[in-house]
Amino acid sequence: MYKNPRCRKIMGRESPGGRESSYPLFRLFQILPSKNNKKRKNDNIPHLRPAEYKRSRLSRNRRTVNRAYGGVLSGGAVRERIIRAFLVEEQKIVKKVLKIQKAKDKQASKS
């Protein structure tokens, strides 16, 4: 756990009546609406604090994008995942084919 996170920075101020009040030094903004985006912007989704998403400030269609992983990943990240999954499956098929060919070559050399 961090001892000095951004959210703990507060500034004291003397108020009338002698009691000290404190208020946040600056307001935090969400940098990206996604954790898994690897520095990619998720377009068409406003960058807000999580509490502001939950409050009824934004309608449902403003919080998400209409595709798989809509409000979580950007379009490029989704495309990258699909391509990666496809290539992994292709690699498995190629391995199987090579294994079968090796077995056939061994049988042909034996007989």
For 35, phi then psi, to 5°, come to -90, -30
- pLDDT score for 40: 65
**Residue at token pair 């377009």:** 43
**Per the domain annotation, does 93 fall within a domain?**
yes
**Per the domain annotation, does 39 fall within a domain?**
yes
Is the C-alpha dihedral spanning 88, 79, 73, 47 positive or negative? positive
Domain count, the chain: 1
Distance set, CA 50 to CA 19, 42, 54, 56, 80 (Å): 32, 15, 7, 12, 26
Is the C-alpha dihedral spanning 54, 55, 60, 65 positive or negative? negative
Domain coverage including residue 25: 6-110
Percent with pLDDT over 70 in the chain: 59
Higher confidence at residue 25 or residue 88?
A: 88
The predicted-structure confidence for 55-86, as pLDDT tens digits, reads as follows 767 787 787 788 888 777 778 888 889 999 99
Element (H, E) at 22: strand 20-24
The predicted-structure confidence for 15-63, as pLDDT tens digits, reads as follows 676 666 655 555 555 555 555 556 566 667 777 777 777 776 778 778 7
**Per the domain annotation, does 1 fall within a domain?**
no
**Per the domain annotation, does 17 fall within a domain?**
yes
The span from the CA of 57 to the CA of 47, in Å, is 13
**Per the domain annotation, does 101 fall within a domain?**
yes
How many CB atoms lie under 10 A from the CB of residue 76?
13
Element (H, E) at 12: strand 10-14
